[in-house]
Structure 1
Amino acid sequence: MLALALLTGLLGLGSRHYAPALPAWLAAYAGDTLWALLVFWLMTLAQPRWPVGRAGRWAFGLAVAVEISQLYQAPWLNALRATTLGGLVLGFGFLWSDVLCYGAGVLLGCGLEWCWRWGTTGP
């Protein structure tokens, strides 16, 4: 899971860095989708015995909570968001499209995790 989280994080950073070279729709949505996938991998790393569905629900809930927190614009929180790490983790402004991307990222993670679990233990 840690390797998947690191790979996903690198892909997410790459999607932002190389955005001008990517198709517009991919540049616009890949980073948020990969961020939610990263949250899912970290959730499964933190709670490896949880069923996939529970990990997915918690990952999606955490991602949406972070997105909703972007509606709160306190000076201290904006100062934290102004840092590189703070901006990557907390984001800047609420967008419904981000919530959809989070759903896609978590569903992708759940699907991959189910395939991995079924492939190693059977249905």
Structure 2
Amino acid sequence: MMRIKVRLAYIVATCFILVAGLSTRIFSKSLPHFVVEHFGDALWAAMIYCVFRVILIKKSIEWSLLLSIMFCIVIEVSQLYQADWINAIRGNILGGLILGKGFLYIDLVRYAIGILVMYLVDKGIYLMRNGSLR
């Protein structure tokens, strides 16, 4: 029962982060340039961390940290591949949001920050609830 509640909390967090990330694009004209420029990628990576927590609820949060970093690196590096078929996928809204459009080193920094912040929040919540490390 506890795992179901924890998994549900990660699903809710994932949805909240998804809405926040999309909001940085939808309301880009109303937000500070720094937020529009950097927060979307950081939030996307934080969402990936939460998705790994949903999938790997029995594993330590360090597994989700590692896998989410690896996943984001693979997605970013895949943007160096510019074949017609994958560019067609990237050309639609969902494909572009998931796969991105062009490789940028700064995206790797944004991803790392988003994942690290989510990991630290996760670790902090765990420590508050249990009073000890996993």
Normalised by the length of structure 1, the TM-score is 0.97
- CA displacement at 1:88 relative to structure 2: 0.5
Structure whose CA Rg is larger: 2
2:98 maps to 89
Say yes or no: does 1:107 pair with 2:116.
yes
Say yes or no: does 1:15 pair with 2:24.
yes
Which secondary structure does the structure 2 equivalent of 1:21 belong to?
Answer: coil
CA distance in 1, matches of 2:74, 2:100: 12
CA distance in 2, matches of 1:49, 1:81: 33
- CA displacement at 1:122 relative to structure 2: 1.2
Deviations 1:55-75 (A, max 9, x none): 111101101100000000010
Deviations 1:57-112 (A, max 9, x none): 11011011000000000100000011111000000000011000000000011001
CA distance in 2, matches of 1:50, 1:122: 19
Deviations 1:20-49 (A, max 9, x none): 111111110010000000000000000012
Instruction: Provide structure 2 residue ranges, at least 5 long, that are not aligned to the other structure.
Output: 1-9
- Residue identity over aligned pairs, in percent, reads 28
Letter in 1 for 2:25: R
Instruction: Provide structure 1 residue ranges, at least 5 long, that are not aligned to the other structure.
Output: none
2:4 maps to none
Which secondary structure does the structure 2 equivalent of 1:50 belong to?
Answer: coil
2:7 maps to none
The two structures, once aligned, show a CA RMSD in angstroms of 0.7
Report runs of 4+ in structure 1 exceeding 3 Å deviation. none
Letter in 2 for 1:122: G
